[in-house]
Amino acid sequence: MADDLSRRWGQRIVVDNQPGAGGALGAAQIARASPDGTTLGFLAIAALAVVPHMMRQKTYDPLADILPIGGASVSRSVLVGSPSLPVRSMADLVAYARARPAGDPLTYYSAGSGTIPHLGMEQLRRELGFAAQHVPYRTSGAGLADLLAGRIHATMDAASVTLPQVERGALRALFWNGPRRNPAIPDVPTLSEAVPGLSLMNAWQGLYGPRGLPAEMVRRIAHDLAEVVGSPGYAERMPGGAEPLQTGPEETATMLRDDHARLGRLVAEIGLEQD
C-alpha cells in the first residue's frame, strides 16, 4: 500500500513499524501526531477496539483521538483442529468438548490474550455452550507448532497462518469465517453454513490519522487509498486468507464504533486486562 501511494503522490513514504502492546504503541503515536498529513497509521482493529478496553491507564481514546480515513484489508480466519482430534464438523467439536472431563477441557491457542482469534473463540464457545481453555502464545508460529504436534486441540487463527496446513492435510478445517466458501478449500463450509445465525468478526485493518486532519486532506487521501485497494494488483499481493477492504471515512468510522462497543462488552465479560 505504501509503495502504491508513494507512486501516486510522487514522494517517498517511510514505513516505521511500531510493534508492542497489541498495537497500542503505534496507535498512541498516531493519536499524538501533528494533524498535518505527514504521519498516518496502518492499524489493526484490535489496537482500536480491544486493547483500549484492557488498559489500566489509557494513553489514547480511539474514538476521540484517531481519525478513520479508509479500510485496507480484512484477514479471514478458519476454525481448525488437530488431525488427532476425532471431529469432522462443528457439531462434532461441540459434542466432543462437552463430553470432556471438567479438569481436562478442550484447548485452543491464540497469539495473545485480547487478539481477535482469542475473542472469536470465546464468543463461539459462549454462544454454543461448551468449555474450552485458552492457551496464549507470544506468536502464532509457536501455537501452530503445538497444534500440529497435538499438544493443543484447536485454533481460530488467521487463515494466512493455518490455511497452508489445511491445504496439505496437516490440519482439519471445520468452518471458513467468510461470506462464501474459499476456493482453496471448497469442501469446508462457511460459518453461516456450519452454525446458522452466528456471526463472528474477522480482523480488519485500515488507514488512520490524528484527529484534526483537514477535511480536504482526508478526502484526497481516502480517494487515493480506495483506488489502490480497488486495483487488481493490490489483491494479488495479499497473503492467503486476506482480502481488500474498500471503505471510505464514514463507513470505516461506523465499523470502528460498532466493533469498539461489541468487543468492549466481550472484554468486560471475560475480565481481560493488560499485564
Domain boundaries, given as residue ranges, for the chain: 2-75+202-270, 77-194
**Residues paired with residue 173 on neighbouring β-strands, in sequence order:** 80
* Residue 77: predicted pLDDT: 94
Instruction: Find cell 452454525 and name the residue.
Output: 195
**Which of 233, 240, 192 lies closest to 90, judged by CA?**
192
Burial (CB < 10 A; 0-12, 13-18, 19+), residue 253, is: middle
Reported CATH class of domain 2-75+202-270: alpha beta
71-75, 85-89, 137-141, 147-151: the lowest-pLDDT one:
137-141
Same fold, 2-75+202-270 and 77-194: yes
The arithmetic mean of pLDDT across residues 98-115, rounded, is 93
pLDDT bin (cut points 50, 70, 90) of residue 275 is: low
Instruction: Find cell 484517531 and name the residue.
Output: 66
* Residue 233: predicted pLDDT: 87
The amino acid occupying position 164 is P
Task: Indicate whether 187 pLDDT > 90.
Answer: yes
CA distance 68 to 255: 10
CA distance 109 to 15: 30
**Which of 23, 99, 72 lies closest to 204, judged by CA?**
72
Angle at 137 between CA 181 and CA 170, to 5 degrees: 45
Complete DSSP assignment for 68-116: EEEEEEEE-EEEEE-TTS--SSHHHHHHHHHHS-TTS-EEEEESSTTSH
Q: Which CATH superfamily is domain 77-194 in?
A: Periplasmic binding protein-like II (3.40.190.10)
For 24-45, the pLDDT digits (tens) are 889 999 999 999 999 999 999 9
From residue 138, give the alpha-carbon distance in Å to each of 21, 54, 142, 237: 11, 17, 7, 26
175-179, 219-223, 229-233: the lowest-pLDDT one:
229-233
